[in-house]
């Protein structure tokens, strides 16, 4: 079933367009600052966007980070500085996993955690 956008509020559409036009995932405070929308309103609208399968999220350091559901990318997050970097292309072979588990994969999200190259340089 394809997500529907026509019934979304102006605020929800603003948030969705911001996420679609931003390379990296954003947390609610970043969305609030960039879109000039109060944080409580961001959370209410993000909830609707997630229910409509238009936005996905992942948790890191106590924050949820949001990105468009149709964007297939994995992320690396630095445990030292909190940098979020895209990891492309996807190296996961869904067909092989499906064969090994005897099931059907509908979606996947992969978040790698570690130390980024800038933080590694600082440690030397």
| DSSP single-letter state for residue 66 | E
Mark the binding-site residues for Fe cation, compressed into ranges.
Answer: 72, 108
Residues of the chain with CATH 3.30.1490.190: 74-123
Residues of the chain with CATH 1.10.10.10: 10-68
- 65 vs 110: CA distance, rounded Å: 13
- 100 vs 88: CA distance, rounded Å: 24
This prediction has a pTM of 0.81
What pLDDT is recorded for position 4?
Answer: 66
Pairing state between β 111-114 and 74-78: parallel
Mark the binding-site residues, compressed into ranges.
Answer: 72, 78, 81, 108, 116, 119
Torsion of CA 66, 72, 76, 82, to 10 degrees: -20
Mark the binding-site residues for Zn(2+), compressed into ranges.
Answer: 78, 81, 116, 119
Q: Which CATH superfamily is domain 74-123 in?
A: Ferric-uptake regulator, C-terminal dimerisarion domain (3.30.1490.190)
What pLDDT is recorded for position 1?
Answer: 47
| DSSP single-letter state for residue 31 | H
pLDDT along the chain (124 residues), means of 10: 73 98 96 98 98 94 94 90 86 84 87 94 83
Topology, domain 10-68: Arc Repressor Mutant, subunit A (1.10.10)
What pLDDT is recorded for position 116?
Answer: 95
Tokens of 95: 């067909």
């Amino acid at each position: 079933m394809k997500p529907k956008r026509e019934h979304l509020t102006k605020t929800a559409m603003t948030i969705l367009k911001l996420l679609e036009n931003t390379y990296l995932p954003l947390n609610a405070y970043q969305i609030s600052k960039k879109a000039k929308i109060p944080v409580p309103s961001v959370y209410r609208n993000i909830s609707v966007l997630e229910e409509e399968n238009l936005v996905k999220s992942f948790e890191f350091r106590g924050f949820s980070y949001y990105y468009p559901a149709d964007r297939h990318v994995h992320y690396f997050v630095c445990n030292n500085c909190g940098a979020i970097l895209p990891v492309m292309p996807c190296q996961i072979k869904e067909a092989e996993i499906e064969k090994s588990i005897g099931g059907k994969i509908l979606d996947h999200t992969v978040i790698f955690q570690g130390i980024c190259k800038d933080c590694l340089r600082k440690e030397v």
